[in-house]
Amino acid sequence: MFELSKDHEEFRALVRDFATEKIEPHVADWDRDSHFPTEIVPAMGELGLFGLTAPEEYGGAGLEEGAFTYLCLAIEELGRVDQSMGITLSAGVGLGINPIMSYGSDEQKQQYLPDLIAGKKLAGFGLTEPDAGSDAGATKTKATLADGQWTINGAKAFITNSGTDITSLVTVTVKTGEKPDGRAEISAIIVPSGTPGFTVEPAYRKLGWHISDTHGLSLADVKVPEANLLGEQGAGFKQFLKTLDDGRIAISALALGAAQRMLEECVAYSKTRLAFGKPIAVNQGVSFQISDLAVMVESARLLTYRAAWLKDEQEAGRRGVAEVKQAASIAKLQSSEAAVTATRIATQIFGGNGFMEEYPVARFYRDAKILEIGEGTSEVQRMVIARGLGLPA
């Protein structure tokens, strides 16, 4: 039987206490004002949340076993209180730190990782473009190399952690040429914040994730040193596919946090909300929906934890890439759709109160939809799963 270790559960309790004490009291105000709480990020860093998958050399935890599972537990517990803060950690590690840690040169690691792991800085990952979302191979942003410098021109869309006061860089995917078969050669290049020509567009007005920092980016003749290439030239496509696989498990954990919170809210509310002189929980129309919620939560939990465990096993050399990729897509698909359903059910059970912003279910309802879109849409997950089953492309 699969179960978390005592250390994992103690860590979960630590993060839950932090989220309850440091985030929960302020989250309604932050959400209303679309305020990104820069001061919380260093506190998360002090707790070690940004360094869970990183080696001690750069200030990380240096965990030998179960590092990715620890990260998913942290994302789940933050997401249980607020989805925006959950995605801040998820993107900060998975899209900011991990690409540099996995593919960066020694110089790049020494320059950027210590502050990112400490929570003093954040980094973004510029993959999506206005006309290239699921079809990431259609990247139009271009980079040309001359006289030891890359010149970058293009635009990116929906980039998390890209415009905060503590954002230090964005890694962008760019077209650096064409392969013999005519497909784009995609590479990844580090662009430090404040580089001339690198413009962070105004923050989006979003349906949900109001606290999360999200911007479009434009790059007009942005020049960075040749040494800012991340990994090998032309390896960007392979790099971001691996990044997305890991990110899908993290999004599954974030969705699990939302579904778990909705279950807790519905159980508590249905016991105290009276209709016709009795708690609404006595009505099967309510209790059966909450029972379905419990099944969805447990299914999402098992799939998420299994995918995280497989990722840890892969890092230890005991599992293959294909197995993790399949597990990540299955977990992300199930958990994200469960979260959307859970928030809809919760809003219905709360009735008119569920439509009011003073109750957290309204915020979670708004926040949930993006879970079916980010890190690969539900349709993309089904495509990945079908290919993993050997069905024809």
DSSP secondary structure of 326-354: HHHHHHHHHHHHHHHHHHHHHHHHHGGGG
Query: Which burial class, exposed, middle or buried, applies to 184 when counting CB atoms under 10 A from its CB (0-12, 13-18, 19+)?
Result: buried
**357 given a catalytic annotation:** no
Q: By C-alpha distance, which of 145, 164, 242 is closest to 203?
A: 164
Spatial distance between the Cα atoms of 324 and 247, rounded to a whole number of angstroms: 12
Q: By C-alpha distance, which of 78, 101, 75, 88 is closest to 35?
A: 88
Run of H or E residues at 150: strand 149-160
Q: What is residue 96's DSSP assignment?
A: I
Q: Residues 76, 265, 337, 375: which is the catalytic one?
A: 375
Rg of the chain over Cα atoms, rounded to whole angstroms, equals 21
3-state helix, strand, coil in the chain (%, to 5): 55, 15, 25
Rounded alpha-carbon distances, angstroms, from residue 83 to 184, 234, 366: 35, 34, 10
Name every residue whose Cβ is closer than 8 Å to that of residue 284 and which is 6 or more positions away in sequence. none
Spatial distance between the Cα atoms of 27 and 44, rounded to a whole number of angstroms: 15
The four Cα atoms 312, 313, 315, 319 give a dihedral, to 10 degrees, of: -140
Q: Where are the alpha helices (DSSP H) in 133-235?
A: none
Query: Which burial class, exposed, middle or buried, applies to 42 when counting CB atoms under 10 A from its CB (0-12, 13-18, 19+)?
Result: middle
Which residues are catalytic, by number? Answer: 375
